[in-house]
């Protein structure tokens, strides 16, 4: 009986902790991972499974050089973000971001894509 009470208590703790341990994940982006596209869209959009804070966003070319973005992440948490993209020449790019969950946990993400021109 004592083992059953311990098992029930442990299961209860795990069930109540599950929402706190769940992390926000990417639901969709308008550029697929490793996509080859003829031209970049005007904006990169990313949709998360829950509201999150967007700490930073960077765009780099194949040589790892930063490509300037005219974007400042909002201070408010949101489930989706639209980041304006500059005109991009043919080549490989990576758009990377870091989000901050409500619990303060930082989560990185990135999409690699190629502009075929």
* Exposure of 53 in the CB half-sphere (CA atoms within 13 A): 10
Can you tell me the distance from the alpha carbon of 29 to that of 97, in angstroms, rounded to the nearest whole number?
Answer: 12
Burial 19-33 (b: 16+ CB within 10 A, else e): eeeeebebeebebee
Phi/psi of residue 92, nearest 5 degrees: -100, 140
Tokens coding 91: 């080549």
Can you tell me the distance from the alpha carbon of 93 to that of 111, in angstroms, rounded to the nearest whole number?
Answer: 8
Nearest alpha carbon to residue 60 among 30, 94, 32: 94
- Residue range 4-49, pLDDT digits in tens: 444 444 444 444 444 444 578 999 999 999 999 999 999 999 999 9
Tokens coding 104: 């303060």
Q: What are the extents of the domains in the chain?
A: 24-115
More reliable by pLDDT, 1 or 69? 69
Kindly tell me if the per-residue pLDDT of 98 is higher than 80. yes
Q: Name the fold adopted by 24-115.
A: Immunoglobulin-like (2.60.40)
Q: Is the pTM higher than 0.85?
A: no
pLDDT of residue 84: 98
């Amino acid at each position: 009986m004592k083992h059953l009470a311990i098992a029930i208590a442990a299961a209860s703790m795990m069930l109540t902790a599950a929402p706190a341990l769940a992390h926000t994940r990417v639901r969709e982006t308008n550029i697929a991972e490793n996509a080859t596209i003829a031209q970049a869209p005007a904006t990169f959009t990313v949709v998360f499974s829950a509201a999150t804070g967007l700490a930073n966003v960077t765009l780099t070319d194949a040589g790892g050089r930063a490509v300037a973005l005219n974007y400042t992440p909002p201070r408010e948490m949101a489930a989706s973000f639209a980041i304006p993209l500059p005109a991009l020449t043919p080549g490989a790019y990576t758009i990377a971001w870091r989000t901050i969950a409500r619990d303060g946990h930082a989560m990185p993400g990135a999409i690699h894509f190629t502009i075929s021109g």
